[in-house]
Chains A and B, each alone.
Chain A
Amino acid sequence: MTSPSQAATNADSLTPEPAAGSGGPDAKGTPALAGRTPRQLAWLRFKRDRVGIICAIVVVFFILVAAAAPLISALYGKNAYDLYGQDDGLLNSYGLPIAPNGGISGQHWFGIEPQLGRDVFMLLVYGIRTSLLIALAVTVLAVGVGVLFGLTQGYLGGRTDYFMGRFSDFMLSFPQQLFFIAFSPVAISLFVGVGDPESWWVRPLVLIGVQFLLGWMSIGRLVRAQVLSLREREFVEAARISGASSWRIIRKELLPNIWSTILVQSTLMLPVFVTAEAGLSFLGVGILPPTPDWGLMFQTGATFYKSDITFMFFPGIAMVIFVVAFNLLGDSVRDALDPKTLR
């Protein structure tokens, strides 16, 4: 039998959160005996993973490009809306770039868009920005709600767990893609009256809302499963016996232990939401032109692939790199955080 005070310190040492800040100086001591927090250990393992580092750099690069789009536009001297091809006579009478390879030149690095003649490089930069911002918002919302849901479900257990579980099963049984397509006009009509013009923020908001509505269940289930097993562990029991409130147990005992799951899942969810958003815009029910969007570039590309296939490659290859980097990063983060998992 451990006394409550012993158990409490024991519980603290199992949670990485409180010790993370103070662990710094120790790590600089003799390497053989250095005390390291789990977070430092994970970082050390991650640093040794070369693929993971490269992927992290690629991911940061994409995020920087999205964040600094106006800056890039200013440096590059063009924007995503001007019809350079039409204004400068770079398109032939069919609306296709006259120069070979989709009009790639020193002026237009990635060529120009068929028909409208916008600059492809700028389109891609701003398109990534739109798609990434929407996907980021969905991820944050979905992870937040999913974690809360899973925590409540796992922590309370019993009948609450059962009914919440059935609810998330029910949400999972909706055909997602079709629901996004079918429900978006309904959601839009909630904001926009019949015949009124649509404000610019309605579409992104609806896309975020609709995807979030059916996006939080997977992480909720994972969190629930983890909490269910953590809840029975001694350190949680000890905290409960020593009079910790439920909120404190959730915050100080449970959350630090599921942190790695949350991180890994968010890294894996973000690209899924990016491609889902792009898919909706590709179908024509997402972001509407002329707003630059990753998915809309595929729509243009699919219209003109016969005559100007170069255009398709820029958004396509960018997306492949993006998704590969995120998936590999997710794997690396998982390996770093949890040395037990073997791939």
Chain B
Amino acid sequence: MLRFLTRRVLGAVVIILAISFITYLLFFVLPTDPAQLACGKNCSNKVLVAQIHHRMGLDLPVYQQYWDYMRGIFVGRHMPDGQNCAAPCFGFSFANDQPIWPLISDRYPTTLSLAVGGSAAFLIIGVGLGMLSAWQQGKSFDRVASSISLIGNSVQIYFIGPLAIALFADNLGWFDHGHDPTWSSDPVGSLNGLVLPCLVMSVIFWSNYSRQTRSLMVEQLSEDHIRTARAKGMSSKYVFYRYALRGAAASIITIFGIDLGSVLGGAIITEATFGLHGLGTLAVNAVYQLDLPLEMAVMLISATAIVVFNIVVDACYALIDPRIRLA
């Protein structure tokens, strides 16, 4: 297990380094002069641009710039103009010259809790429905569930989100909507505000999971070892949970690992739909202001988060399926 994890972590570090380098190239080397962007839309003063160049360290060679940037994240950094940037340093925003880390640390709990809550919701609902469908295979419940899954697979968060707000929050008053308390000031209120977004976000995912779970369970239930277990006299319930579910769980976890990126995408759309202040809205606003350092930081942190969660998912996978560990 330890060897498996070490190998995965090393691979992940390589991936993160590659992503960070490519993103750095894309954001700071390829496009038109970042200094020009930092200077503003109507900036034609050559001297000023050159000054910004120096201040941002853009007059250094690329590898030096990248090294400074990455070092800054771990140990902090003194910008060439003497500005001090504390430990997790992602540079300074183009838009308002503020350091970037506080902006992000303020926003990421919303996105994280959306992603985690949404995932929990769709895993529970999706896998649950899929299991019930497999149990009731061919009966009317199975058919109803599969048609619901088909529709659920085809709706969009930005369509059902407003409808859900109108119905459950405004009309029935089951959920709070409209105020978005921060994590630190009002944890209970913020949790309550996240219930509806998580449920809405889960809709587009659980349909897929219920379909997959159903077919995996049906496949598992037709395996020889299941028949043997039944023939030995084990109860069908025991076989269903202990044997079939365990066999299906490994594949479900794999699918979940592949979906992590989409979960982040779903969280971003959900934030925009519900007007929550998370990383997604931060990134969208940064686009309007052409705030490259902020974009870069959001990209890097999200990519890292996905890679890290992927390791966690892989570890779960290895726990369930010993063949993976030993391979």
Question: Could you list which residues of chain A lie within 8 angstroms of chain B, going by C-beta atoms?
Answer: 169-170, 172-179, 181-186, 189-190, 193-195, 271, 275, 278-279, 282-285, 295, 298-299, 301-302, 305-306, 309, 312, 315-316, 319-320, 323-324, 327-328, 343
Contact = CB atoms under 8 A, between A and B. Distances in A.
Contact of B32 (A182, A194, A327): A194
A159 B284 CA distance: 40
Given A173-B15, A302-B273, A178 B158 contact: no
Given A175-B306, A179-B299, 9 more contacts: A175-B302, A176-B261, A177-B268, A177-B269, A182-B295, A189-B290, A309-B166, A312-B163, A319-B156
Contacts of B279: 178
Contact of B158 (A173, A174, A193, A302): A302
Contacts of A193: 32
Q: Return the 6 tightest CB-CB contacts between A and B, nearest first.
A: A177-B265, A323-B154, A316-B159, A305-B162, A182-B295, A298-B158
20 contacts: A175-B265, A175-B302, A177-B264, A178-B299, A178-B302, A181-B268, A181-B284, A182-B283, A182-B287, A186-B26, A186-B295, A271-B154, A279-B156, A282-B158, A283-B280, A299-B158, A302-B161, A316-B159, A320-B154, A343-B215
B158 A175 contact: no
Q: Is the interface of A mostly helix, strand, loop or mixed?
A: helix
B18 A298 contact: no
Given A182-B298, A306-B170, A176 B19 contact: no
A181 B306 CA distance: 17
Contacts of A295: 158
Contact of A173 (B41, B43, B154, B307): B307
Interface string B149-165: 01101111011111101
A176 B292 CA distance: 17
B86 interface: no
B256 interface: no
Given A185-B290, A193-B32, A279-B158, A173 B283 contact: no
A302 B287 CA distance: 20
Interface in B204-248: 215
A301 B162 contact: yes
Contacts, number: 147
A173 B303 contact: yes
Contact of A275 (B18, B156, B170, B303): B156
A175 B303 contact: yes
Contacts of A306: 166, 170
Nearest to B273: A302
A285 B295 CA distance: 13
B36 A194 contact: yes
Contacts of A316: 155-156, 159-160, 163
A302 B162 contact: yes
Interface in B278-307: 279-280, 283-284, 286-288, 290, 292, 295-296, 298-299, 302-303, 306-307
Nearest to B42: A195
Contacts of B31: 186, 189-190
Interface of B: 15, 18-19, 26-27, 30-32, 36-37, 41-43, 150-151, 153-156, 158-163, 165-166, 170, 215, 261-262, 264-265, 268-269, 272-273, 279-280, 283-284, 286-288, 290, 292, 295-296, 298-299, 302-303, 306-307
Contacts of A181: 268, 280, 283-284, 287
Contacts of B298: 178, 182
A186 B264 contact: no
Nearest to A170: B18
B62 to A, nearest CB: 16
B155 A285 contact: no
Given A185-B295, A302-B273, A320 B159 contact: yes
Contacts of B269: 177, 279, 282-283
A320 B160 CA distance: 11
Contacts of B153: 323, 327
Contacts of A275: 156
B287 A184 contact: yes
B265 A194 contact: no
Nearest to B288: A284
B15 A312 contact: no
Contacts of B303: 173-175
B128 to A, nearest CB: 21
Contacts of A195: 41-42
B159 A298 contact: yes
Nearest to A320: B154
Nearest to A196: B41
A298 B156 contact: yes
Nearest to A303: B162
Contacts of B37: 189, 194
B30 A178 contact: no
Contacts of B15: 169-170, 173
Given A174-B303, A175-B302, A279-B269, A186 B154 contact: no
Contacts of A309: 162-163, 166
B174 to A, nearest CB: 17
B124 to A, nearest CB: 24
B283 A178 contact: yes
Contacts of B151: 320, 324
Nearest to A326: B154
A284 B292 contact: no
